[in-house]
Amino acid sequence: MDIYIDPAINIGIPLLIIVIALITGTTIEKRHYRSIHKREKELLTLPVLNCKQYPVDRQVERVQFVSGSVVISIDYFKRFLAGLRQIFGGEVRSYVSLVDRGRREATLRMKEKCSDADLIVNFRIKTSSISKGRKKKIGSIEVFAYGTAIRYSKTA
């Protein structure tokens, strides 16, 4: 009897995991993007520059090194899609949204640490894949964003 049940379980369980991953993964991503958009709007007044120059016509009150980081992973469904993509080639959209979310989240966390600053100079961002699952596929990435926050004194 077991012989007839086994194939059903073998296909059924991964399929169930993929369906669960599809539903929860999509919900989590949508919620994350909503929160990213909201916070990006709030922090729009804090400019981030990736050059080393800064305005020197005002008096500097405080200088601070700021950083933000996040480890983020994609769901099984997207990983499955990415696996299919490797057959035909082309842009792997499921990974594009993963790195996009990671970078924006890390940048936001960095900005949130110094929301009273006037600007952030020499902004740098580093991305690394920290865990590789089976078949060396990228499972999750770490994004580390850092820069130097400058606050000018308001009197003068």
Partner 1 sequence: MILTNIEEVPGTTIVEHYGLVTGSTVRAKHVGRDIMASLKNIVGGELKGYTELLEDAREQARDRMIAQAKELGANAVINVRFDTSSVAQGASELYVYGTAVRVEQEK
- Chain residues binding partner 1 by CB under 8 A are 17, 20-21, 24-25, 28-29, 32, 52, 54, 56, 59-61, 63-65, 67, 69-76, 78, 105, 121-122, 124, 126, 128, 130-131, 133, 139-140, 142, 144, 146-148, 150
Residue number with CB closer to partner 1 (5 or 62):
62
Residue 114, Cα to own-chain centre: how many angstroms?
A: 19
Q: Report, in Å, the least distance between residue 45 CB and partner 1.
A: 20
Instruction: Output the smallest distance, CB 57 to partner 1, in A.
Output: 12
In the complex, minimum distance from the CB of residue 85 to partner 1, in angstroms, rounded to a whole number? 17
Q: How far is the CB of 111 from partner 1 (least distance, A)?
A: 16
Q: Is 120:147 a contact under the CB 8 Å cutoff?
A: yes
Nearer to partner 1, 5 or 20 (CB): 20
- C-alpha distances out from residue 98 to 7, 23, 64, 151, 154, Å: 33, 16, 29, 32, 39
- Residue 71, classified by CB atoms within 10 Å of its CB into exposed (0-12), middle (13-18) or buried (19+), is middle
Name, in order, each residue with C-beta under 8 angstroms of 31's C-beta and a sequence gap of 6 or more: none
